[in-house]
Every structure is written in structure tokens, then in C-alpha cells.
């Protein structure tokens, strides 16, 4: 039996991030997650943050659903998202 592992990735971008920048980030994530399938990408919109993060009071929220046959090694994903200046915060949850 081959069970699938599902991950939810929430990414919060700086409010005025251009669409081409967000697409570049998603493209790079797909490259890093080569053994997984990006099944769903939902734009949750601009939301007020509870507190200021990196000088921003609002954030542009995206939720990604990723499915894989095996457990992902997320070190490269974490490193990339930590270094990306357009990303305020992110969260990866294994479902």
C-alpha cells in the first residue's frame, strides 16, 4: 500500500509583492519539492497581521497543498524561504 503524505504550506508575502515575484517563489518551491506534487495553490488575500512583522502591518497570504509519496526533507525549502526578502513568514504543516 502506497500512502500519500500531505503538507500545507502557508506563505505570507510583503503586501506589495509583484505577481512575477510570487510566481518565481512558487516555481523555486516546485523545483525544491521535486519529489512532490503541488496540488493546490490558493490566494487567501491581503490580511491584517496581529503585530508588525518585518515592518509590515498587512500580509499577502497564500496556501499551498503539496502531496508526496515519501517524507520531504524541508531543509532547502526552509533555507530558501528564510532568505527570500518578499516572504514575511511561512509555515509548513505535515497533515
The model's pTM is 0.89
Tens digits of per-residue pLDDT, 71-95?
887 888 999 999 999 999 999 999 8
Domain count, the chain: 1
Compute CA distances 12 → 2, 4, 56, 86, whole Å.
Answer: 32, 26, 11, 9
Q: In terms of residue numbers, what domain contains 19?
A: 5-94
Quick one: CA torsion of 40, 26, 62, 6, rounded to 10 degrees? 40
Report the CATH number at residue 16. 3.30.70.60
Tens digits of per-residue pLDDT, 2-25?
688 999 999 999 999 999 999 999
Helices (H), the chain: 19-32, 75-83
Give the cell for residue 5. Answer: 503524505
Amino acid at each position: 500500500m502506497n500512502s500519500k503524505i500531505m503538507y500545507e504550506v502557508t506563505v505570507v508575502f510583503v503586501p506589495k509583492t509583484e505577481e512575477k515575484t510570487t510566481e518565481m517563489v512558487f516555481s523555486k518551491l516546485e523545483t525544491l519539492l521535486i519529489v512532490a506534487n503541488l496540488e493546490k495553490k490558493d490566494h487567501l488575500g491581503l490580511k491584517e497581521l496581529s503585530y508588525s512583522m518585518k515592518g509590515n502591518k498587512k500580509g499577502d497570504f497564500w496556501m499551498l497543498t503539496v502531496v508526496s509519496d515519501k517524507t520531504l526533507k524541508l531543509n532547502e525549502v526552509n533555507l530558501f524561504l528564510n532568505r527570500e526578502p518578499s516572504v514575511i513568514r511561512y509555515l509548513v504543516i505535515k497533515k
